[in-house]
Amino acid sequence: MSIVVTGATGHLGRLVVDALLARGVPADGITAVVRNKEKAAEVLPAGVEVRVADYDDPASLKDVFRSGDRVLLISGSDVGKRVPQHTAVIEAAKTAGVAQLAYTGVLGGPDADFDLAADHKTTEELILASGLPYTFLRHGWYSEVYTENLGPVLEHEAVVAAAGEGRLASASRADYAAADAVVLTTDGHLNKAYELSGDTAWSFAEYAAELSRQTGRTIAYRSVDAATLEGILTGAGLPGPFAAILADVDLAVGRGLLSATPGELARLIGRPTTPLADSVAAALKA
């Protein structure tokens, strides 16, 4: 039996591997499923078993899993392609007879009505239909989605969003990775869904105020409508369909769909989640 992490060289995947090691899992008890073996050698700790497979190539997944494995399916990043990709992983896991299939979905699960959530909801339905023992890890937003892209914000001295006064309960990627590792290494999580989010929801006006405090500059919050935001994003080089998805997420924030603070993330990791201010400080230092 091994703990298998798919997408293990991605931002979240490598943190999950680190969190598993921190919990005492030996390196040879972890299997990293990656597309690029050379990248894996650069970013993953020595001793972790690497298996090469691609979500887009079902045949490559045929021998990735073993009976009794605990598997973390990290959702793909190609919006619109994720359902067939995830289907390939689910079918390979079922054929192998894994003991647990954990999936990183989205906060709110079936109640999340924004476009980016559609693939996640379909994936959860596919996992349920497979009959595999599952754990749904419904991740809220990562603070780094905002703090890792501070260049334009500082250049224009403005946080621009179409969320109005909506609030967002984000946490750091490392927080979510730690929770994922707990679920993969302890018992009592089968056939359960966890709504994971930060301890405190914040508004974009508060985010701008925190940036102002830490930089000593006046950073304003500019609230715009979705069409205006799409225009700004496409003007910055994002493809139109992706810009529309991001604007739709902001509208979901405005409706309160990403503001829930049930405390399940903090309970799983046994500590408070990382405050937004800490993520801002880390990004500014970097």
| Short-list 141, 8, 144, 142, CA closest to 73 | 8
Q: Which domains does the chain have, with CATH numbers?
A: 3-140+172-195 (3.40.50.720), 147-152+157-166+199-259+274-285 (3.90.25.10)
- Residue 195 contacts residue 262 (beta carbons within 8 Å): yes
Whose structure tokens read 């899993």?
A: 65
Within 10 A of 39 (CB to CB), how many other CB atoms are there?
A: 14
Long-range contacts of 78-84 (CB under 8 A, 24+ apart): 79/116, 79/119, 79/241, 79/242, 79/245, 80/119, 80/241, 81/56, 82/119, 82/123, 83/119, 83/122, 83/123, 83/126
pLDDT tens by residue, 46-78: 999 999 999 999 999 999 999 999 999 999 988
Decide: helix, strand or coil at residue 190: coil
* pTM, rounded to two decimals: 0.96
**Degrees, nearest 5: CA angle 143-144-148:** 140
Question: What pLDDT was estimated at residue 149?
Answer: 87
| Short-list 273, 233, 275, CA closest to 250 | 233
Decide: helix, strand or coil at residue 34: strand
Strand partners, 122: none
pLDDT tens-digit profile, the chain (286 residues): 799 999 999 999 999 999 999 999 999 999 999 999 999 999 999 999 999 999 999 999 999 999 999 999 999 988 878 999 999 999 999 999 999 999 999 999 999 999 999 999 999 999 999 999 999 999 999 999 999 989 999 999 999 999 999 999 999 999 999 999 999 999 999 999 999 999 999 999 999 999 999 999 999 999 999 999 999 999 989 899 999 999 999 999 999 999 999 999 999 999 999 999 999 999 999 8
Return d(Cα 69, Cα 31) in angstroms, integer: 10
